[in-house]
Structures are given as C-alpha cells and as structure tokens.
C-alpha cells in the first residue's frame, strides 16, 4: 500500500477547490490511451535509452536514474504501443502502487508492465490537474479498494479505466495547474536555499 503522508500545499488547495465538484468522469472517458509497459523483458545494453521500473517513480516524479538501457532499435519497436509525449502520465500498479508522475520533457524512455500509461485528452483534462486528481484521497481510496492480491498488491488496467475523477471546466483546471506549478517552484527554491545554508554551515565547521 502506498504511504499516505500529510497533504502537500498543492494537494490541500486541490481539496479546497474541487472537493465539491459535481462533474465526474471515468479515466477511460478522459484518456485516449490507458495501457501498460512491455510484458516481454527487452534485451538490455550497457548504455542507451533508459528503461525504468516502479522504483523510478520517486515522490510522484520520474527518475531516469537506472541501470537498465535499451537500443534505439528496441525503443522504435516498443514505442508504438506506448507513444510517450510530454503531458502523458505514468502510474505504478504493483507493490508501491498508485503513484502517478507526469512526463515533463521529451527525454526518451520506456518502462516495464508494472507501470500503467495514460494519455490524457488535453481538450478535456489538464495533465497537472489529472496528476493531482489521482493523488487525491478520494481516488487513492478507490485505488485501495480495487487492488488485487495478497503477497503482491496489483492494480489492474480494467480497474484504472474505471477510476472516477472530478473534471471541472478546463479553464479551472489550468488555473489550478498554474497555482500548483507556482507552489512547486517555491518549494524547490526553499529546499535549494536550505541545502545551500547547510553546505555553508558544514564548510564553516571544517
């Protein structure tokens, strides 16, 4: 089961703004594609295009720090099934399930079958909004109810497609997305400042 920490500021604002939203849709109504990564382990090489696992979804963001790589040829054959673009979302489905991450750049990568792939319909839903919706307590509770298995909890694609999320007007979603990005940048700036201060203190203590 995912670890449920206290709500970050952006998630608190999400609750404030959309907890009473009347318009709700299933994920398969607001996404063009919902599938998962390759089921056949590809041939790995020492360097090339990153191949990521559930462990590469860190703090609901994608970490490309991996020891597994594939060739351009392998990438070309597999990307047809999961045509990854900026704004798409991946979601962990096994073990530490229910953690989403937005694809924020054009860096090439592929992923295993324990990660689901969501391609939002951008005319209906904003990626950053959907990311926060997936992290909301309501959707996380739906996920907890739908997982199967005992030793290894698994969230099936059929269950993901039926998850119900609030979908306000697109302008409201984008307004929230701008607010979320502002909060995230402020948090990053604060963390960087704290690290700089800690480094200065360590230097002076030498």
Residue 2 belongs to some domain of the structure: no
Q: Could you state, in chain order, the average pLDDT of each consecutive group of 10 residues for the chain (206 residues)?
A: 52 75 93 96 96 96 97 97 97 97 97 98 97 94 95 95 96 91 69 50 47
Residue 14 sits at φ, ψ, to 5 deg, of: -60, -45
Residue 90 belongs to some domain of the structure: yes
Q: How many Cβ atoms from other residues are within 10 Å of residue 206's Cβ?
A: 4
Helix (H, G, I), strand (E, B) or coil at 164: strand
Residue 22 belongs to some domain of the structure: yes
Residue 176 belongs to some domain of the structure: yes
Give yes or no for a contact between 179 and 10, defined as CB atoms under 8 angstroms apart: yes
CA 85 to CA 91: how far, in whole Å?
15
Give yes or no for a contact between 118 and 91, defined as CB atoms under 8 angstroms apart: yes
Residue 96 belongs to some domain of the structure: yes
pLDDT at 3: 43
CA 51 to CA 114: how far, in whole Å?
12
Q: How many Cβ atoms from other residues are within 10 Å of residue 72's Cβ?
A: 10
Residue range of the domain that includes 182: 9-205
CA 1 to CA 127: how far, in whole Å?
24
pLDDT at 8: 62
Residue 1 belongs to some domain of the structure: no
pLDDT at 21: 76
Residue 3 belongs to some domain of the structure: no
Number of domains in the chain: 1
pLDDT at 201: 40
The CATH number covering residue 187 comes to 3.90.220.20
Residue 4 belongs to some domain of the structure: no
């Amino acid at each position: 089961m995912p670890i449920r920490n206290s709500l970050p500021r952006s998630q608190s604002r999400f609750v404030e703004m959309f907890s009473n939203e009347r318009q709700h849709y299933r994920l398969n109504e607001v996404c063009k594609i919902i599938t998962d990564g390759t089921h056949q382990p590809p041939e790995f090489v020492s360097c090339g295009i990153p191949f990521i696992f559930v462990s590469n979804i860190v703090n609901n963001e994608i970490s490309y720090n991996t020891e597994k790589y594939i060739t351009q040829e392998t990438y070309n054959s597999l990307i047809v099934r999961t045509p990854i673009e900026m704004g798409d979302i991946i979601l962990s489905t096994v073990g530490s399930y229910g953690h989403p991450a937005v694809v924020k750049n054009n860096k090439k990568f592929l992923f295993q079958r324990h990660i689901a792939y969501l391609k939002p319909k951008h005319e209906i839903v904003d990626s950053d909004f959907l990311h926060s919706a997936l992290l909301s307590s309501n959707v996380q509770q739906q996920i907890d109810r739908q997982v199967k298995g005992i030793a290894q909890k698994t969230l099936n694609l059929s269950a993901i497609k039926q998850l119900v999320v609030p979908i306000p007007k697109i302008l409201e979603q984008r307004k929230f997305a701008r607010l979320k990005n502002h909060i995230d940048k402020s948090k990053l700036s604060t963390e960087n400042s704290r690290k700089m201060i800690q480094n200065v203190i360590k230097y002076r203590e030498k």
